[in-house]
Structures are given as structure tokens and as C-alpha cells.
A and B are shown apart, each in its own frame.
Chain A
Amino acid sequence: MTVIQGTTAVPEQRRHPRVRKRDGGLEPVDVTTIVQAVERWVADLGEVDPLRVATRTVSGLYDGATTAELDQLTIRTAAELIGEEPQYSKLAARLLAAYVDQEVRLQGVHSFSESIRNAHLQGLISDETAGLAARHACELDDAVDPDGDLRFEYFGLRTVADRYLLRHPQERVVLETPQYFLLRVACGLSTSPAEAIGFYRLMSSLAYLPSSPTLFNSGTRHTQMSSCFLVDSPRDELDSIYERYHQVAKLSKFSGGIGIAWSRVRGRGALIRGTNGRSNGIVPFLKTLDAGVAAVNQGGRRKGAACVYLEPWHPDIEEFLELRDNTGEDSRRTHNLNLANWIPDEFMRRVEADGDWSLIDPSDAPELPDLFGDAFDLAYRTAEKKAVKTVKARDLYGRMMRTLAQTGNGWMTFKDRSNALSNQTGAPGNTIHLSNLCTEILEVNSDDETAVCNLGSVNLAAHVTAGGVDWEKLRETVRTAVVFLDRVIDINYYPSEQAAKSNPRWRPVGLGLMGLQDAFFTLRLPFDSAGARELSTRVQEDIFLTALETSAGLAERFGAHPAYAETRAARGELHPDLWGVTPTQTQRWTDLRARVRTSGLRNSLLVAIAPTATIASIAGCYECIEPQVSNLFKRETMSGEFLQINTYLVRELKARGLWTAAIRERIKRAEGSVQQIAELPAEVRELFRTAWELPQRALIDLAAARAPYIDQSQSLNLFLSAPTIGKLSSMYLYAWKAGLKTSYYLRSRPATRIQQATVSVAPAALACSLENPDSCEACQ
């Protein structure tokens, strides 16, 4: 860029700006025209004021702006009003849909089949999908729901438009509308138009969405649709380490998130026989991995991401825990890698007993990564004789807690529990060596097999009304979801041969859940109530049971997955049995067991609760199983910033006549908390607590209660505004004792914050006068 430019005379800003039309001519902007453009979309949006949008748009415009700039500004202006009235989100979404629609039409595309033909010509769509769309053009074109886009909120549609819609390789204009996009995804996974239309309708209703790699790539020439790859630790040799860099780069390029273990590589100071030198340990190698991950850009849609797993007996564990610190020598920091501890129970037991803990070099005990349970304990105790160093277990545990508090990283995942309670570890020699990037996937792997998982999530919000859960609808959604998750395994492009080897053998899938918080709001269940725990557990039981039934049905048609004999299910043990719980739907479980005995299962694993960050945005629901972080917050993505407001709360406040500027300001000042809004009854404030205001014990209890019905694991974030080592060490010990297999980020808040710019300046003397809010100066 050029910094110094000649100073030009400042033209006086015109009071009535003009727009430059596509033909180059200038014409005055007419507020009425904008009002009319807005009014087309507000029939069911009673609270929207088209004139307000129009005048604010004109105020932000400059003289000579293009019509495209005017359209974009109108959309953004509508979106800026969401904080006052959530209906503006729908308006902004519809204006954006119209804008996208126009962009597609301008290329001469007027139907789904035309969009596929066009994108196929550009080399983006696979021949199979193009063929299906051409053969059944009329049927598929007719299936497009003209009102489909009306269901989107603004943030969801903006995300779709900016990152999911296929674009022209050179001109970068969009080649498909949001509905064409969903139908394209469905066609990419279907063998008949009827199947495609059924799956399209489910996605278009936003009741279920596959994960981002599937949405990005289904139907295209690059059908890498899996989200997660679990790469075993490189062997303790240079060739293997560099092979892993190569593999990680290939997996990352096609939108996968990577988990990679590193416990087999010797630590600092260990002897290298070939050169008779001493090893520099794992940190320099991880630094290289860090740079490699950062270099891979996933098609411009998101950055590559990886998580490194290390067992706490590794001699470099302390340096590992410093990799994300923002101080210290930068050559020993990895800003792009996530870190996770892969913890054997023996460590936690010694923490509890305040015992010593031995650090052991893997070159002295190469068997440790492949062992769990009693076998690990025995081998570890034997290897302790060769310890490189001995530390207090509690000191190391405290160091782990510090890393969590300071970086949010260094996730606590539990090796023994993960292995003992897995369907895949039924035969000796099969070990789970790590979890994935988001700690919800637990699958066996080895040096020459990289575990793969493709994901999708049910939107529970779409299956719940104030009357309760629509169980039949939920089951129908799960049945469709599992069939299409299973389908991905055969169509998927595997970026590495290790991945291609593993997935057809085990056929694991990860069906998740999102919108649990929506369901709790709809049913008015506080997150930490017994009712919430019961609902969450029963929903999870039903999802898991239905998923197993569907997988049994697939096995009856296509056969059990090839590694079925190595699973615990083959010995008659299903996941709730491993937990020792008794499910509630006794008859269905009994019937299922009979079918499994006869035909086995098509999939070794079925359920995993992924974070759903992006697809929950598209669906317009709360993420996975998480509580809301705030009643008012913003999301920040590559598309920009988006204000998110709790619409359930807004409805409640409106019903009580409390949705006023003064109340809004108080919520903003309290950073999205309603605990100080005394006008709301206690039970309403209880319902609308944020993640920061909930006892974290409840989050762990809910997770533990549903865990018997999750055969992989859950991305469980925990939230502490002001973490201390004491709180954290208590919390994670509790999580371990509750039997959780994994946990995910520790979320905390900054110690200080930017002064709020848009709430009124309130010197201490001007506290809110709750008895007489109208005369309270602080809120004017």
C-alpha cells in the first residue's frame, strides 16, 4: 500500500448523496426507494421500521457510492438494529438473500440445475453430481423451497454467503443461492432424487446440518467431507516425524482438524545413537509443526488447526505446557497449536495422594503409549526405575491448571477412561492414543492408520415446543442423519493413505447435538435443574438408541463393518453397559440387542458432541450442549462482527413490558447479565443465567449423566470468570471422578476491559434508581 498520497481538495459532503448505477450514471438516492425495497420483506415482521433503516442508510452513504455499496450498506444498517429489535436480523437476512439471489441471476442462472451445470463447467462440481442434477432437473428444480431462506437469521446467512456458497474461480461471484447450496450438498450424498430431496428438506428446515467439511465439499470435485483426523505419534525417528508433517499438511488442506500425539518422541537430553549427540527434545519439532499448520490455508475459508496430545510422564511435559505462553523465548512457543494432556488415571491418583510422579523418556519405555488401565500402571511403575526426573504430582498438576487459566489450552483428557469405555478397544492391541482437535472424538489408531470421523449435528431447538420434545420427529431426523453420515465414508476422498486405510474398517461417525440451551429456554428449565439434567439425558439416550437402530439396519443391508469382530459390541456389550447404567427404553434396547447379535453394526461408533461453532450459527441456535455465554454478546468471524441477543429473553421482557432502552442499557453495562434486573422475578433471572453465572459443577454433572449415551465423547467447555489454581484443581479432579473422558477449553475473561463506548458515563453517585427507573439519569 501507499502511505503518502497527494492531498486532494476535500469536497463538501452533499446533503443528498447520489449513487452510481451499473451503467455509470449518477442518480440521487431516494429514501422512498429504499423504504420500498425494505417493505417487500417485512410482512411478518411487525416491529421493523423500514423508514428508520432507509434514513440511517442514507446518513452513512457518500456521494457517488455504487448501487452495490448502497445495497450492502442497507443490509448492514438493518443488522445494526438487531440489539434493539431482534426482528431486524430476519430483515437483514432477507435483504442479503435478495442480494445473493440477484448476483446468481445476473449470471443467467435461474434454477438449481442451471447452477449445477454452470458450476460444473467451471470445474467445481463432480461429474456424478452434475449427472444426477441433469437427469432429474425438473424434479430437483421443483424441490427448491422458495421460502427456505426466510428461516435464516442474519449471522447464519452471512456465514453461508461468505464462506459456503460456491464461487466463480476467477470472478469470485457466487454461483449458487443458499437453497441451491443445500440441495447440492444433498445431491452429492444421494443416489436418487427422492433421497436427495428428503435430505435437502431436512437441512433446509435447519433441523439437522452436517459439519462444515461436508457442507463445503459435498458434490464437488474434492469430496473430503470429514472433520476430524487423529494421527498417532510419530515414531521416535526423524523420517517418521517428517512424514507426519507431510500428512498433517495434506489433511489440513482439505478442511480437516487434526489431533496428533507426540508421546513416542524422545525428550530433551536423551541420547541419539546415530550421531552420539543429545536430543533437543520435542519443542523444536513442535515449532516446525506449528509453522506448517499456519501455512496451510483451508481454501481461504479458515486457517488450519491442530492439537498436540502429550502424556504427562513425558520428560518434556513442563516445556510442553509453556508452548502457548505469550512471554518467553519465541522459538519455544507455538502460537497456532492447541495443546492437550492425555492423562492416565495413575497420574490423577498420585495427585490426590500427593505422591511423586516420574518423568520417563519414551526411548526407555516405548510401550507406554500403547497401554492403558492395569497394564499401563504396571509398565509405568516398572519404568519408574529409569526415570529421567521425579516431580511432585501436585506441582505438575498445578502447572497444568496454570496453563489452562492463562491460555485456555492444555485440555484435560483422560486416557484410561477413554479406552476402557470404547467400543473399539474390544480386542487386545487396539488403543486410543489421543482425542481430536475438539476433544469429542475417541478412536483407535496406529502408526499406519489415521482415524477419521465425519460429523453432523441435530438441532434440538427444531424438535422442541413449549409442550415438550417431538420424539418421533427427533427419531426421524436421527435416522436420516445416520444414513448420510455413513454414506460419507464411502464417497469421501481421503487425503492420506493412513486415513484411507482406517475409515472403511471401522466406519465411525459422530452424530452430535446442538441447541440444547434453546430447548431449556423453551421448556423454562434452568441449566442446573434436575429437569434439565433429565431432559438432556433422555434426549441423548433416544438419539444414541435411534442411531444404533439405524446402524443395525444398515448392517442388515450392507453387512457389519469389517472390524466389527474387534469391538465390544460383538461381545454383547453396548456403551451403556460399559458405564453400568440401566437405560429407560427397555423394550427398544432389548430389540436392538437381538438385531445386533444377528447382524452386527455398520458403524463402530455413532455419537460425538462436537462444538458446532459454525453450523449452530447457520442454524441460528446455541452451540452443542453449551449454556449461553451471555444474553448479549458478539461473534467475531472472518465475515466481521455480529451482535447476538438472547431472543428468548427479549420475548420475556417484551411480555412484561420491560424491553426498554433503559433495560437494554443495563444489560449491556452488566455485560449481558440480567441478575441485576430486579424487575424480573427470581425464577426468570435464574433461567437466563449465563455460563459465567452457573455452577460449573452442574455442567460436569449434565455431561456425566448423558455420557453413557455418547460412545465417543463431548466437547465440554468450562467457564470461570476469574480462575484460580485452587478452583481449577478442584474442578478438574471432580470432572475426572465424575468419569468424563475428555474436557475442552477453559474459558475465562480478561482481567480488564475496554471502556464501554456506548453506555452512558455513570459516576458512582448516579446508580440506577430501580424504584423509579424513568427518572434515573444513569439510564437516559
Chain B
Amino acid sequence: MTTIPPAPAATRQTLLDPGMDLTLRPMRYPHFFDRFKDAIKNTWTVEEVDLHNDLADLSKLSPAEQHLVSRLVAFFATGDTIVANNLVLNLYQHVNSPEGRLYLSRQLFEEAVHVQFYLNLLDTYVPDEQERFEAFAAVENIPSIARKAEFCFKWIDSIYELRTLRTREDRRAFLLNLICFAACIEGLFFYGAFAYVYFLRSRGLLHGLASGTNWVFRDESMHMAFAFDVVDTVRQEEPDLFDADLEHQVKQMLAEAVECEVQFAEDLLTQGVSGMSLTDMREYLQHVADRRLAVLGIDPMYGSRNPFAFMELQDVQELSNFFERRVSAYQVGVTGSVSFDDDF
């Protein structure tokens, strides 16, 4: 086997340079590889989620809450598939780093698990076959979901024709797509859904949905963090791509995403849900959008505060009584060998 020496620094390519880099040693982006390893430790499977008690809870919900849940699961039915498609069609080919692609491969697997989870969820929640078909066709049937889907498709299409990122404009288009999926779709659409599920969870309802979704969001948090990591890396390598123009476009995109999500909230909350008003939801979404801007180093657009105290519950360690819940805090992929003098 011959070893190819690393390219001299001057000719070393940047992350978005076209190509199919295969060299893992020396590793150019070890932080991507670390994210890949961390993700593997959090492997979960759909079979671990027990949806059994959810059915009893569903019948206890008020009609308004049932409507909320039905819209929510209809969104979940296709949301992750859209993200997976963009990953394959647009992201994978342009992130020219084998360790980065390892992470994206892992992300793709996770998206597939999420799709399977929500498939299982809908099969369980919606026993009537015809209704189930309609739920999976939500992107066509339900206007509030269709509008969100259109937003996603528009951004998928925006760079679909791009085979290589040669020009500055190409790269900015790529960045906008990446930021869109991280900040707007995973970071806002999913985070909006996050709030509804956690609202129900804080009241002890739909444990199956909540625990599965909890694991989904643990993954989504990592996806988003990886995407922002890519953005930061590109920013370091090619700072001139980031200017006021790009900032303006990001803001515009987020504002549009917020409006999409607010009209979805109007649909979900239309019949009145105690403890979750539309006013509060709008403020929450604006607050989340500001947080996404902050990560990108952009000033807030809204200056809104988080009105949902139950979201604070998601930020602290959980301690489940094992009589009641399956504990979800364990790690896969433990290393080391038997020894008797390690510190503990």
C-alpha cells in the first residue's frame, strides 16, 4: 500500500471545493469526526418506544387537543423525509470532507429512523387505512402543512441544479440552503413541533409520542449543531462569503419561515387549547428565530422572549422513575477493558 503524502498547505482545498476527498488521515476536520462518534453513542430504535398508553390518552384529549395532535403527526409524517431528501440531493455532494460525509451518512440513518418512528406512530394512532393515507398526503391536503412544504421545496430547488460550487454565488446559494435546513426547517419547524409535544408531555400526556420525539429532537439538535459547525468552518475558510447581503437574505428567509409556522400554529390552536395561546406561540417562534440568528452572529429581529415555562423542563436532567418510564439516558458504544485500579 502506498501512502499519499498530505497536500502542501498552499494547495490544500477548502471544505466547499468541488471533489470527492477520500483521505481520512491526516484528518482535516476532526470535530466532524467527533460528532459522528457522539451520534453513534446515541443509537435508539423504534421498538424501544412504547406507544401502548398513548391510545388511552388520545381518547382523553379534548377535541381541540385531538385536532392539534392530528395536525402535528400529519406534519411529522413527511417532515423528516424532506430533510433526508435535501441531505442526499444537495448537501452530501458539496461537503467535501470524508469525515463530514461520515456524519451526514449517520444523519441520513437517523432521519430514516425518524421516518420509521412516525410511520409506526401514525399506523398506531390512525387505525383507519383511508385516514392514514390522507395523513401521509398532508403536504397536498392540509393547507397549513402544504405551505410549509412549499417553503422547503423552494429551497431544495434553489441549488438542485448545482453540480459543483465553483463561484462565489454558488457557494452563497449552498450556504443559504444549508442555513435554511438547519435554522428554518430543523431549527424552527421542528422546534415549533417540539413545543407542542413538550406542552403535552409536561402534562403527562402521550408518553410514547413524547419519548420518541424526545429522541428525535436529541438527534435534530445534533444535526443543527453540525450544520452550524459547517457554516462556521466555511466562514473561517472563506470569510468574504459572509457579508451584509447574505445576512439580509438569512433574515428574510427566517421571517418567511416564522410566518409559515405561525399560520400552522393558527390551524393547530384554532379551537382553543388551555395553556397554549396563539399569541404565546408566535412569541415563542420569534424567540427561536432570534436564537438561530444569534448562533450565526446576526442581531435579533424580534427581541421576543420565551413565554413557555414548560420549555425550561427540557433543559434540565431528567430522572425517570423506572416503574413508569423507560430510562433513555444510556450510552451505546462503551469502551475499555477490565481493570481493577481505575478511579471511580
Contact = CB atoms under 8 A, between A and B. Distances in A.
Q: Which of A63, A294, A750 has the most CB of B within 10 A?
A: A750
Nearest to B37: A751
A10 B267 contact: yes
Nearest to A725: B336
Given A1-B69, A725-B336, A750-B42, A76 B275 contact: yes
13 contacts: A10-B266, A10-B270, A61-B275, A65-B272, A302-B324, A724-B335, A728-B344, A729-B339, A730-B344, A751-B332, A752-B42, A752-B221, A752-B222
Contacts of A672: 316-317
Counting from the closest, the 7 A-B pairs by CB-CB distance are A62-B272, A80-B309, A751-B41, A640-B204, A724-B336, A725-B336, A761-B294
Contacts of A731: 342, 344
A634 B317 contact: yes
A733 B340 contact: yes
Interface stretch (B45-53, B88-96, B150-158, B159-167): B45-53
Q: Which of B73, B132, B267, B342 has the most CB of A within 10 A?
A: B342
A727 B337 CA distance: 9
A13 B279 contact: yes
A638 interface: yes
Contacts of B316: 630, 632-634, 643, 668, 671-672
A233 B342 CA distance: 36
Contact of B201 (A59, A62, A641): A641
B44 A633 contact: no
Contact of A754 (B38, B70, B314, B322): B314
Interface stretch (A309-317, A393-401, A590-598): A393-401
A641 B313 contact: yes
Interface string A747-771: 1111111111111110100000000
A61 B330 CA distance: 38
A8 interface: yes
Nearest to B341: A730
A261 to B, nearest CB: 20
Contacts of A643: 312-313, 316
Interface string B285-329: 000100100110100000000110111111111111111111111
Contact of A80 (B194, B310, B319, B332): B310
B119 interface: no
B173 interface: no
Q: Which of A64, A695, A751 has the most CB of B within 10 A?
A: A751
B44 A326 contact: yes
Given A2-B131, A335-B47, A695-B344, 9 more contacts: A8-B271, A10-B270, A13-B277, A303-B323, A406-B334, A641-B310, A643-B316, A720-B344, A756-B314
Interface residues of B, number: 100
A697 B344 CA distance: 7
B203 interface: yes
A720 B336 CA distance: 14
A335 B48 CA distance: 7
B334 A725 contact: yes
A62 B273 contact: yes
Nearest to A159: B321
Interface string A366-399: 0000000000000000000000000000100110
B309 A326 contact: no
A224 to B, nearest CB: 16
Interface in A292-332: 294, 302-303, 305, 326-327, 330
A8 B270 contact: yes
B141 interface: yes
Contacts of A758: 306, 311-312, 314-315
A352 interface: yes
A64 B272 CA distance: 8
Interface string B62-90: 00001101100110000000000000000
A402 interface: yes
A1 B63 CA distance: 10
B142 interface: yes
Nearest to B315: A756
Contact of A752 (B39, B52, B274, B297): B39
Interface of B: 38-39, 41-45, 47-48, 50, 52, 58, 66-67, 69-70, 73-74, 125-126, 131-132, 134-135, 138, 141-143, 191, 194, 201-205, 207, 214, 217-218, 221-222, 224-225, 266-267, 269-280, 288, 291, 294-295, 297, 306-307, 309-344
A407 B326 CA distance: 10
Given A638-B324, A757-B315, A401 B267 contact: no
Contact of A72 (B134, B274, B312): B274
Contact of B338 (A330, A401, A720): A401
A4 interface: yes
Given A634-B318, A696-B344, A750 B323 contact: no
Contacts of A480: none
B315 A4 contact: no
Given A641-B310, A725-B334, A750-B328, A635 B47 contact: no
A3 B324 contact: no
A644 B312 CA distance: 12
Interface string A612-638: 011000000000000001101111111
A69 interface: yes
Contact of A751 (B42, B125, B271, B339): B42
A405 interface: yes
Contacts of B338: 351, 394, 397-398, 401, 725-726, 729
Contacts of A632: 316-317
Given A754-B221, A757-B314, A59 B331 contact: no
B274 A62 contact: yes
A499 B70 CA distance: 47
A613 B323 contact: yes
Contact of A757 (B203, B306, B320): B306
A81 B310 CA distance: 10
Contacts of A398: 337-338
A724 B291 CA distance: 36
Contact of A59 (B52, B214, B279, B312): B279
Contacts of B344: 695-697, 720, 727-728, 730-731, 734
B306 A750 contact: no
A729 B339 CA distance: 6
Contact of B329 (A83, A635, A640, A749): A749
Interface string A404-417: 01111000000000
A274 interface: no
Interface string A468-502: 00000000000000000000000000000000000
A639 interface: yes
A617 to B, nearest CB: 8
Contacts of B267: 7, 10
Q: Which of A76, A305, A728, A752 has the most CB of B within 10 A?
A: A752
A3 B135 contact: yes
Contacts of A734: 344
A299 B111 CA distance: 37
A11 interface: yes
Contacts of B314: 754, 756-758
B217 A750 contact: no
Contacts of A614: 321, 323
Nearest to A80: B309
B247 to A, nearest CB: 16
A61 B42 CA distance: 38
B243 to A, nearest CB: 19
A390 B295 CA distance: 56
B103 to A, nearest CB: 12
Q: Which of B44, B204, B276, B297 has the most CB of A within 10 A?
A: B204
Contact of A327 (B45, B326, B337): B45
A83 B138 CA distance: 39
Contacts of A405: 330-331, 334
B125 A1 contact: yes
Contacts of B143: 7
Contact of A630 (B203, B276, B279, B317): B317
